[in-house]
Chain A
Amino acid sequence: MTMQHMRVRIGPATFDIRSPFRAPVEAARRLYAEYPQGSDDEIFDFAVAAVPTVWWRRWYRRSMTFRADYMMEDIVPIEERLGLLGFEMAVNMQMALGYRRDIVLHAASAAQGDRAIIIVGDSGAGKSTLSALLSYSAGWRHLGDELALIAMDDPITLKPYPRPIGLKNQSIAVMRERVDGSRFGPELTGTMKGTVRHLLPPAGAIANMDVPARPALIVSPHFAEGVAPRTEQMSQSEAYMRLSVASTNQLQLGEPGFDTLIRLVREVPAYDLHYSDSEDALKLVADLWAKAG
């Protein structure tokens, strides 16, 4: 089987991506063209492969499943045209399940100077959109839209993991109004989350992906039609619970993981944000950011 093959580094982790299917690897190559390409002469972190579900599916009614270093058994087969999405999913899974050097948080993040905001929330709460707006409309440095890496050091730092931003459904149009089409990946329709389109972070975010930042504000966005914009501060223990539950590995990191989150919620204020409109969201964040000093 001839394999298409590429290596790419995102923040601290290098991925080896391969498949006998040409199209998804080529799509990944295009999407990641601005990222550092790993070389063959380097030890990489995780291998991810898209393989045919059954051997003849390579040619007929093409569908693929994924193999990787960390458990991928449960992934449902994906049509060939959505292969790029499968890679993204598999890459994230490796970080969520296998990466133990930092706390992996299911959160978006962005920075101004060396100070960062962490955006936590359930899928669909508006994390990706808010982080895309911050970086493209408010001049923030994009650190990541899906996973935030919190180093268990003193002082606590956030390591950038600036993967392409996974925009869904209405938020694609919201960002398309603001950003040139050349920074968008292909439109993937009919996925389990509706229509998905990747947006490359601004070039500066990729160029500075080894520059950490210090967390200064934690927000949890709640987008809902027709609500008046407002913020509410979380108690420390509530912030702890939200972060701990949003983490894929903190509970498995033992006392250093506990210690880091305790320090984080003591040092950094956390707020719920309610809004129905992206301009309101940006204004709420700006106000809190000014207050966080």
Chain B
Amino acid sequence: MGESGVTPSLILHEALRHPSTIGTLGTRQWNALIRVARAEMLMATLGERAAGTDVPDKARLLLDEARAAARRNHDAARFEVLRMADALRDSGIPVVLMKGSAYLMALLPPLPGRNIGDLDIMVPRESLADTERALKGAGWLSVKPRGTYDDAYYRQWMHELPPLAHEMRGGVIDLHHTILPLTARLTPRPERIFEHAVRPAALAPGGETDALPDNIFVMSPPEMLLHSATHLAYDGDFQGGARNLWDIDRLVRHFAKAEGFWDELTIAAAAHDLTVPLARALRLAEALYETPSPPSVRGRGDIVDRLALRKLRGHDEYGQGAAPGAQFLLFLRGHWLRMPPLMLARHLWTKWRARRGEGRREAPQNAR
């Protein structure tokens, strides 16, 4: 890899952008590509992108293995959405599917190969208690974080409740009422998201999706993109950034086909006070995947972009991060963005103490 100056991360970004190029990779580059793709949770996505490309047999085996796993994951995620929708069917509460589950139910382009984890949903803040009650009536339980600090912290400061896990299946729902923590200095307007929400079938190519009750929605295209961008730019340290930027790339290329999309996006970004994170996400997506966007929306690069790119491109041939300095600065930045300084100090102190205590209790028997 050293010979061409192409880092393993760049091989991955290039492979996703132009899958036909992987036909020319040497064995050593293949090994590096597989490691980085696994580390970035993009192995199955790569498998879907490279479906028609001629690749070595062993590579095909490993890519197909990942694709099959992602398809199973999609079935299971769809089941969780349907169970949740069933539990909230009679409540009349508008429910907005977020991230992976929205791409899944509206069959949007980030979906193929994308791993879908917990089920993230958003309801109006005043309906949180009713939603929680309805889900608990249908078998979901509050996952009690250890100690009261965490529970209180979630409820007071975060943009979601403590996670709910289903008692039988273990599937987890994260219940949100806005798209950023209340403590963050930006204040998006959740009510606007509910006003503009659309039915999943309205976005799906061909309009064919699972039958969902009338109260299940996804965000409008501009707001779905804004949420993804905010998530990337605000979720701490750009961990998993290659995957999140891939989502953004796919959404942009798909939504921008519609007349007037960039204008709508600009208006929505201003209304939610999210112009800055949107611009950053578009700049980084352009750097990684050549994602097209108007320069006026994208704005100018800064030091955070450079740190983020160092991290996003810094995986070695075993998929390990190789930019510890950038990593630490980004970690601090992530917490700084989300919390006022005094609270941040309190939070880190409490976390640290809890972790130390746990470490002491668990060390001798942690023999898994």
Contacts and interface: CB of A to CB of B under 8 A. Distances in A.
A254 B68 CA distance: 10
Nearest to B73: A252
A58 to B, nearest CB: 16
Instruction: Tell me if B's interface is mostly helix, strand, loop or mixed.
Output: helix
Interface stretch (B23-31, B98-106, B134-142, B186-194): B23-31
Interface in B25-74: 27-28, 30-31, 34-35, 38-39, 56, 58-59, 61-62, 65, 68-69, 72
B263 interface: no
Contacts of A76: 363, 366-367
A43 B368 CA distance: 29
Classify chain B's interface size.
20 to 34
Contacts of B34: 43
B365 to A, nearest CB: 9
A40 B28 contact: yes
Contact of A69 (B38, B366, B367): B38
6 contacts: A43-B30, A43-B31, A45-B62, A47-B318, A67-B318, A99-B65
Given A47-B35, A69-B35, A254-B75, A101 B65 contact: yes
A42 interface: yes
B72 A254 contact: yes
In this complex, the interface size class of chain A, counting residues with CB under 8 Å from chain B, is 20 to 34
A230 interface: no
Contacts of B163: none
Given A42-B58, A101-B61, 20 more contacts: A16-B31, A41-B27, A42-B27, A43-B30, A43-B56, A43-B58, A43-B59, A47-B31, A47-B318, A47-B319, A49-B318, A69-B38, A74-B366, A76-B366, A100-B65, A100-B69, A193-B367, A252-B72, A253-B72, A254-B72
Contacts of A45: 62
Interface in B334-368: 363, 366-368
A33 interface: no
A101 B68 CA distance: 10
Nearest to B59: A43
